[in-house]
Chains A and B, each alone.
Chain A
Amino acid sequence: MAYSNKVLDHYNNPRNVGALDKHDPQVGTGMVGAPECGDVMKLQVKVNPATGIIEDAKFKTFGCGSAIASSSLATEMLKGKTVDEALEIKNTVIVSELALPPVKIHCSVLAEDAIKAAIADYKKKNSVGNHAAAQVAQ
């Protein structure tokens, strides 16, 4: 299949590959997968608790070129956004940016799911963290 130049670019030079410390309370981790093709994608965000801004994002994806490119692009888009802005990112943006063909749209859906999962994890950690801190303070 012919990949678009943008997919090839992200595939050959993926941005922000790596891992953040998943035990860090500032870090949210999203792990998602696509059963029908066996892909698995991990995406992490590091949030500044004072501003709510995503200061860093990393990913690691095992899957096809489109899945790698989708998650690479997602990490680029996440940096500098607030948590709420990040939740607004739709897979359709990724589709048009990467010119994904219809059979690869599920890759962008996976990336959107990964963003949502990472932020949900951050939020969960944070409310739990605050709760624990409040208990300690009492």
Chain B
Amino acid sequence: MEHPSQPDGGGVQSARCRQCGESSGGELFCAHCGSLQRPATDYYVFFGLKRVLVLDTEDLQRKFYELSRRLHPDRFTWKSAIERQYSLEATAILNDGYRVLRDPLMRAEYVLKQEGFDIGEQRSKDVPPELLEEVFDLNMALEELRLGDEEAHGQIEEARNRFLAMRESIDKELETLYRRFDDTQDRGVLQQVRTVLNRRRYVRNLVNEVEKELAREGQPAQ
């Protein structure tokens, strides 16, 4: 499925260069005169990338470095006010976009948000009940271990390894879903991605809790 239209300001505003009046070719730098155009706010469009969830991060990094160089403020000292303004906007999008796109989880959340999935406003009805039960039980077990004696240490380490294994299998599951979305562009897959991301968030919290506990144990007794 093709995406019929970018959200407002997502794509390149005008294919005609403000500077020379010729067609800019939709590029960040005019294909005709090389002057900087108004940057696209959509991170994928900005980096000239296809909107995929499995991204070649080395390629992304190369593009980041190249654009960083081309957008360096020193290059715009003698340019027009509008180009200086665009260069500031472009630099901000460059840095934010790189931070988001290089991280597989933030990248997926970005695409979910673009597709109209509300990330911040979810309520418990979006979480499968059996997951809540599972997370609750794991938290209970952790708490019991924490209240226990020194022998609990081994069990806590065991719990950490179990959570890390869970996180690893979730990441594999995500990878599979990402590939499926890239192949099909199916919204239903994104729905699944969101569910698995929620699950991962819970497991991440559990890992953090266990690691906090292990760090606390490592401290000398008060």
Contact B205 A38 (CB under 8 A): yes
Across the interface, name the chain B residue whose C-beta is closest to A62. Answer: B139
Give Cα A117 to B125, complex, Å.
10
Give Cα A10 to B132, complex, Å.
24
Contact A109 B132 (CB under 8 A): no
Asked, given contacts A38-B201, A40-B139, whether A31 binds B123 with beta carbons under 8 Å apart, the answer is no
A58: interface (CB < 8 Å):
no
Give Cα A109 to B131, complex, Å.
20
Please classify how large the interface on chain B is, using the bins under 10, 10 to 19, 20 to 34, 35 or more: 20 to 34
Majority-rule SS of B interface residues: helix
Residue among A40, A60, A62, A109 making CB contact with B123, cutoff 8 Å: A109
Asked, given contacts A109-B123, A113-B123, whether A36 binds B135 with beta carbons under 8 Å apart, the answer is no
Residue among B119, B131, B133, B143 making CB contact with A36, cutoff 8 Å: B119
Contact B124 A113 (CB under 8 A): yes
B129: interface (CB < 8 Å):
yes
Across the interface, name the chain A residue whose C-beta is closest to B143. Answer: A62
Q: Which residues of B contact A (CB under 8 A)?
A: 119-120, 122-124, 126-127, 129, 131-133, 135-136, 139-140, 143, 198, 201-202, 204-205
